[in-house]
Amino acid sequence: MIEEKGRKIIVKRGDITKENTDAIVNPANSSMEHGGGAAYAIVKAGGEKIQLDSNSIIEKTGYIPTGKAIITDGYKLPCKFVIHVVGPRMGEGNESEKLRKAINSVLILGDLYNLKSISIPAVSSGIFKFPKKECARILLETSLEFLKNRDTSIEKIFMCNRDKITYDIFCEAENKLKQ
């Protein structure tokens, strides 16, 4: 656990669809078609209305650019909201900066909705192939910077990953950040 101004960043192993935080983060694609990976699991657990809400937003705004986030209700999920964020795909260029922007977008949106807790998985490290070690470092550093430099409603940020390898990588990055 990392603590800053009474706020906490907690690395945990778990199923993002079972998180009882105010919001969970969905690592999405720019068309918000939640057909695979964590995005599919979130819609499967939360209900088709999540996909329908996403479709409605896309109809109104067009594709969501890399680094941007949108929010929908959580419906059948234990969380109130799902924050869908488009992280970078490896090979598109400037991926680290785009991932920082994506996580900042999530946290800013969470603060705008006056959320107290958010669960974030390893955005872009799955099918988008962003290296997990770099992902963990960026997510933790960006979240810590956000808590240090903003007066925010967010009290707890959980880095929640299901698989042991990713969880261990986040634990290692957390330990390095504490030093």
Domains of the chain: 2-178 (3.40.220.10)
Number of neighbouring beta carbons within 10 Å of residue 89: 17
In whole angstroms, how far apart are CA 51 and each of 34, 36, 44? 7, 12, 10
Q: Is 132 exposed, middle or buried (0-12, 13-18, 19+ CB in 10 A)?
A: buried
For residue range 62-107, list pLDDT tens digits in order: 999 999 999 999 999 999 999 999 999 999 999 999 999 999 999 9
Structure tokens at 69: 């986030």
Is pTM beyond 0.95? Reply is yes
CA triplet 144, 149, 153: central angle to 5 degrees?
A: 80
pLDDT at position 37, please? Answer: 87
Average pLDDT of the segment spanning 8-28 = 98
Average pLDDT of the segment spanning 20-36 = 96
